[in-house]
A and B are shown apart, each in its own frame.
Chain A
Amino acid sequence: MPSLGSALLALAFVTALAAAAIALAGRDGNRRRIDLSRRVVYAFCGLLTLCVAIIEIAFASNDFSFNIVAQHSSIETPAFYKLAAMWSSQEGSLLLWAWVLSIVSSAALYATRAKLKEIVPWATAVMMGVAAFFTGLMLFAPDVNPFSSLSPVPADGIGLNPLLQHPSMMIHPPMLYSGYVSLTVPFAFAIGALITRRLDAEWIRSTRRFALIAWALLGFGLLLGARWSYTELGWGGYWAWDPVENAALMPWLVITAFLHSIMVQEKRGMLKVWNACLVVAAFSLALLGTFLVRSGVLQSIHAFGDNTVGPYILGLIAVVLIGSTALIVSRLDDLRSEKRIDSLVSRESVFLVNNLLLVAMTAVIFWGTFFPLISELFTGDKASLAAPWFDRYTTPLAILLVLFTGIGPLLAWRRVSWASARRVFAVPAIVAAVAALALALLSDTTHKPWAYALFVFSAFALTGLGQEFWRGAAARRKLAGGSMPAALVGVVSRNRRRYGGYVVHIGIAVVLIGIAASSSFQTNRDVTLRPGQSAVVDGRTMTYVKPTVAVNDEYLQFGSVLRVEEGGKLVTVLHPSRRYFRPTGQPVGTIGSYFDGEATSEVGLKAGFGEDLWAAPQPDISAVQRRVRAADKGFRACVSGAPGTPPQCKALALTMRAAAANPQLRARALGQIAGIQSATASRIAESYLTDNSATIFKIIVNPLVTWMWIGGLIALMGALLALWPARGRRRGAVVSTELDALKEAKYREIRDAELDHAAGKLSDEDFALLDAELRKEAVQILDRV
């Protein structure tokens, strides 16, 4: 099987190169060659799918002749995690990269099969070039072929690290990867547009969807990672400004900026150079993220063994950056803006501000992340920056961003008169003022000015967004009648992109509220308690009622029952514990081997809309460990037949000696030993119940943190809403030529303006002016048709 996989992988490599070559041969618009190259891309996708299937089958069937299976799985590894184990390895994660790329490339080429016939060949060549790079890496770089085999075949594997055995692991890495990889599509089409000088908004319209998919996947991946850290790591935080986290956040921020600025290009023909730079930056940052986790150049909690693929990826980044920059510079004449910003009070100027904020944030994070390298360059010492430094810069930027998530949607395109602006800003501003006053009088949030500002701005943004929905629905109702909810559904489903975007804004504001509240008003304490003792944390009495113990073949678990009371009333009972895993995939060792493996905290969590109670224990098990050592020593003495040992020992020693000579007896002897050991382990572990030993509890009271997860899900819903294919009247429209698409876009712009007018965002004079302008532009397009 491994050799079949290797052959398929080699074939895939050749296929990717062939697809690129055929596409380039069809760059003069040869339809047959372009169609053929697309089909070869599908074939590439099929081949990689087979490769992934072979690896997954090997994992599922415990085929330890695969090196990757022996290193990352074992017979006892739960089936669910066997499937996820592929991407816990270097070679498997590279295969995942290439596989996801083959899928998104196929999807992108399918979606554009009747469009962009000049750009598509180049985009195909770029995507397949990147695909060939990653496939070739697996084939030619040392030690990263997923199909390398082991001989002799081991009886069992090493197993998957218990820390990685969390449901999120099944989807967190693939999500982030898919996000990274999807960025290849907008990048490839941008390069194609630059080469062919087709720099109107057409390539953006066709690939915007992929940028949004990448944004959603990357964002969801980040959210899952934060959730995993919060519930699994026994640390209680969700973000640490760790280089690997930053590496995923940076492309996300840049693509957020891109999604906004491309609207300006689409609608106004401006910011073309900027957009080209953003898409190149996003893709390079995605590659940089892929590189960072594989290089060991920075200190991170995600430690990755030094390995061989880092320099190659760095090489690819260099090629991408130098090539793209040269290309953009050579096309500067074609990238000139068609128009200028009419007014500072318009949606495009707000988008410009938001872009600057997002890019500034990315620059800060980039600087902080790579500071150890920068400082080594200048001072010779590797010095690093900690969370407070990052917070100092990102906090004010995030607060301004939340303000603009509220301002942007309230303004119309092109220009807004002060009168219109005053009208739409009145209610949100009043609500924000009331919120500011209420928070100042009724709570102590003013002690944390940043958080206070964020709450007030969020109130403004959320009210503004709510008002948008309300006014949109009211306008629709005036037009189509019916009930208010029906009108809301109607207006949202007819303007999915717009309202999907608004829903994302609501989600982001909610996420930021959760982050601000939980980081500024968190209580985080370590308390040392013996059974029966209690401590008061943030007004709550925490009583360590009693210790608990659980034993099985995999782990020993030392837990606790922690009663939480407030004002004499029971709030909840938490059951935090700590598990000590035995290393898997090794022959029966000693009882002490339970303490040789990983230890994980099983967090006690009571989540609520108001606040989370979070507890993780660190039990003092030194007494238990002493007893274990004594028992292991006793066992060794026993089987060595020392004088005075009980008769069972002699029987066991005899069996073991016989087993050494006769392999058939081996299993029975090992079974016997395992039986004795697990009985002893249970007995010793249970002695912990009466040890009365102290446990350090890390206790966190986290206000509003749940809203972070809720906000994240709202944002995801918004993205899905914006992505959902348009239905109804627009489906009938024939969009076969680029001119048709242009016409459709202009119609949409007119509809948008009408909606803005009906919703009171544009005054009558503003609308009359804008409408006349738009209609003139539409007529020009129709003339060309």
Chain B
Amino acid sequence: MDPQRKRKIRLVVALSVAVLLAVALIYTSFSASTEAKEPSQLLTAAPGTSYEMTGKVVKGSIRHQGSGIAFRVVDRDGGGQSLPVTYTGTVPDPFRGGREIVLTGAIEGGTFVGEPETLITKCPSKFTTKSDA
């Protein structure tokens, strides 16, 4: 086989592999992703579906409950009705009232039940330009 043709074949094979991989990547990312919602949207969400909730912990709402905690969250801008949340396990260091959190879980009986190990609390002090730290 002449080298010109060999190179062309090689290029076509490589490109097809790349395209296949890219398609797999795109396909799995849409099926594996969890939708992000704010607490006010979750109040009416379908039970059982997994969501990534982004909200703000209501100050003074955190209570110990068994081996976990229960608290309420509101939308990040502080508005809207609050949503009750339960979470089992230890919480990250920065977790407390008034903080923004990201938590994956589902609605069960009107309460957002977080999956263990998915609670992310934002660390507020870096690069904030206003003195709300």
Q: CB within 8 Å of B: which residues of A?
A: 71, 88-90, 93, 143-144, 158, 160-161, 163-164, 232-235, 240, 242, 293-294, 299-305, 307-308, 360, 363-364, 367-368, 371-372, 375, 379, 381-386, 388-389, 392-393, 524, 526, 528, 598-601, 616, 618, 620, 622, 696, 698
Contact = CB atoms under 8 A, between A and B. Distances in A.
B102 to A, nearest CB: 5
A313 B28 CA distance: 31
B128 A389 contact: no
B124 interface: yes
Helix, strand, loop or mixed for chain B's interface?
A: loop
Given A144-B129, A158-B131, A163-B123, A601 B36 contact: no
A484 to B, nearest CB: 44
Given A526-B89, A696-B67, A299 B129 contact: no
Contacts, number: 137
Contact of A233 (B35, B93, B122): B93
A144 B129 CA distance: 8
Contacts of B26: 367
A305 B127 CA distance: 6
Contacts of B125: 88, 160-161, 163-164
Contacts of A300: 122
A363 B30 CA distance: 16
Contact of A163 (B35, B36, B91, B94): B94
Interface residues of B, number: 44
A599 B96 CA distance: 8
Given A301-B121, A383-B35, A368 B29 contact: yes
A307 B131 contact: no
B104 A386 contact: yes
Given A234-B90, A616-B90, A303 B100 contact: yes
Contact of B33 (A294, A360, A384): A384
A372 B35 CA distance: 9
B25 interface: yes
Contacts of B94: 163, 598
B1 interface: no
Most-contacted residue by chain B among A158, A303, A622 (CB, 10 A): A303
Contacts of B36: 299, 372, 381-384
A363 B133 CA distance: 35
Most-contacted residue by chain A among B88, B104, B133 (CB, 10 A): B133
Given A302-B123, A304-B128, A384 B89 contact: no
Nearest to B22: A363
Nearest to B33: A383
Contacts of A696: 67, 89-90
A537 to B, nearest CB: 14
Nearest to A144: B129
Contacts of A308: 129
Most-contacted residue by chain B among A158, A300, A307, A385 (CB, 10 A): A385
